[in-house]
Amino acid sequence: MQPTDHLRAQLQQLSDGFRQRLKQQLPALRDQALELAAQQKPDLQSLEPIRDQLHMLAGSAGSFGFAEVGVQARELEQLANRCLRDGFGETCRQELADGIALLGRLPLGPAPEEPITDQMIADTCENRGIQVLEANPDLAMRMSQTLESFGYRVERHADAESLTSALRAHQPDALVIDVSPAGPGYQMLETIAELQSSWSHPMPLIAVSDNDDFDIQIAAVRAGAQGFFTRPVDLAALENRLERCFGSLQNEPFRILVVDDDTALAARFATVLSAAGMLVETVEQPRQLLEHIDNFLPDVIVMDVHMPGYSGPELAQMIRLHDNWLRVPILYLSAETDLGRQMAALLKAGDDFITKPISDSALLTTVFSRAQRARLVSRALARDSLTGLLKHADIKEQVELEVERSQRTHMPVSVAMIDIDHFKLVNDRHGHGVGDNVIRALANLLRQRLRKIDRLGRYGGEEFVAVLPNCNTQDAKSILDDIRKGFEALQFSGSEGPFQCTFSAGVSACEAPEWQTEEVLERADAGLYQAKAQGRNRIVAPQQKQGLL
């Protein structure tokens, strides 16, 4: 089954389940209203459960495709609120009962399908395809070798005709093209721009030129350029720009916590967001909220405003009592349309207000944009500015978390200490700018070759730490050795011409509950010291104590 078919089937199943729920809920709601209307002196409190059910229908029915039910429920909810405010007189009681009876007679046929867009389906591409148009065969070859070392699939073209044919047959993930006036790509920039407009997701374009003339750069931008390099091309910097273009897609999935007592609606939200590649956890009991946040570490919290016994703003204020969660955006969900009440809710610790019902695509766009912005802010605060990796304190925290997890699950965790060989010579010979490119290149290579569950940090200077959960010593050594070979094959551009670099690493892995973070790091550092002493450009795992793998 194709991803679109699978998602469509899931959404249809949820809509069918909601329709069956309506067939049971609406007659029961009608009977409650008729019974209340027949009473001479009804208790106002007996109206509140009816009002709450109408509120829930107003917020959820539209999301399942029953828009008319949602609109009518919203009007009846407002009527119930007026009855509660002004008194539950006979006229008001009868009007509410008649309205709920009409609500129960609305047609409940199959809900219309909402179009499933590409944005609603997770991008699962691991090895991204890059089309390269470069007439210089030597540069084209070096460019291909560099990009392939980082895990990209590269297809080279020497002329515009070959590239045009390939682009019309299949959209690549990115394009690297020579846009020099005398080069093969300059004349086809308009063609590329036309193709970009026809694709649902325009591809990143990296332009290479003999000069940085204004007109050339403008033409490249109009064709979708997200990077511009003049010759001689620093291939490590070019790859770094590509990595930035793909950054939002290659990061680990956004983590979304949905807090809503409407289980059917929460399930639909979870289905839509999960299909787009996000990790979603739902909370129905507010008392469990803080525990879920601590364990799940969400990027965004989507929270209903009205829940039995608690309000969304109250829970949001409780979350904000904890410094660790000050940066997590809280998106309120409610059928509330009164702007004043929305603003009042936002002033109590919220960040945005989503009015129910919300379409699947609107939900996805809203949550994705907030999660992306939150991740960028967290990245800026917790990540090293040069490499985008975790800072010293943050990677040590990750080591501690994974060692603790290893103790609980009895699964191994490997920690690697990585250091670029003879890095001081690179800075002395070629300058600190070139040295920064070498550091960035290794950071990108590690990020692309390791798994999404692995953690990476810049420990200081040219030294890195990698944390590999569920990975023993031998597997960690094998993985790092492959990366070592790829890094050794990279060519960098320096003041004295092209040059290459290597790195050394020490690996420590443990299951032993008595081992602490510092001991694991010290063991990895000892392996790094041995690798340096044995001639560098190698991976060493020192002999482990009992309990270590």
Alpha helices in 128-262 (DSSP H): 137-149, 160-169, 189-198, 214-222, 235-245, 247-250
Radius of gyration, alpha carbons of the chain: 29
Ordered DSSP codes for 359-379: -HHHHHHHHHHHHHHHHHHHH
The answer to whether position 545 is within a domain reads no
Return per-residue pLDDT of the chain as tens, 549 residues.
455 677 777 777 877 788 888 888 888 888 888 887 777 777 777 788 888 888 778 877 777 878 888 788 888 888 888 888 877 777 787 888 888 888 888 877 666 666 655 555 554 435 688 999 988 888 888 888 888 877 788 999 988 889 988 888 888 889 999 999 887 888 888 889 888 888 877 888 999 999 889 999 999 999 989 999 998 888 877 887 887 777 644 457 889 999 988 888 888 899 989 888 889 999 988 888 988 898 888 999 999 888 878 888 889 999 989 887 888 999 988 776 667 777 877 777 778 888 877 888 888 888 988 888 887 777 667 677 788 788 888 898 888 888 888 887 788 899 999 999 999 999 999 998 889 989 988 998 898 888 878 899 999 899 999 999 989 889 999 999 999 999 998 888 888 888 999 999 999 987 555 667 788 889 999 999 999 999 999 999 987 544 444
Q: Return d(Cα 302, Cα 366) in angstroms, integer.
A: 10
Same domain, 246 and 263: no
Three-state secondary-structure class, residue 529: helix
Range of the domain at 340: 255-382
Residue 469 within any structural domain of the chain: yes
Check whether residue 409 and residue 499 sit in a common domain. yes
Q: 424 and 364 in one domain?
A: no
Q: Is the pTM of this model over 0.85?
A: no
Q: How many domains does the chain have?
A: 4
Residues 74 and 161 in one domain: no
Whether 72 and 178 map to the same domain: the answer is no
Q: Is residue 118 part of a domain?
A: no
Q: Is residue 175 located within the same domain as residue 272?
A: no
79 assigned to some structural domain: yes
Parallel, antiparallel or unpaired: strands 225-230 and 174-178? unpaired
Q: Mark whether 259 and 229 lie in a shared domain.
A: no
Residues 311 and 215 reside in one and the same domain: no
Judge if 53 and 146 occupy the same domain. no
Domain boundary among the residues 250, 284, 317 is at 250
Domain with residue 427: its CATH number is 3.30.70.270
272 and 371 share one domain: yes
State whether 262 and 370 are in the same domain.
yes
Residues 8 and 89 in one domain: yes
Give the end of a domain, one of 348, 382, 416: 382
- Assess if residue 213 is contained within a domain: yes
Q: Give the residue carrying structure tokens 């045009």.
A: 164
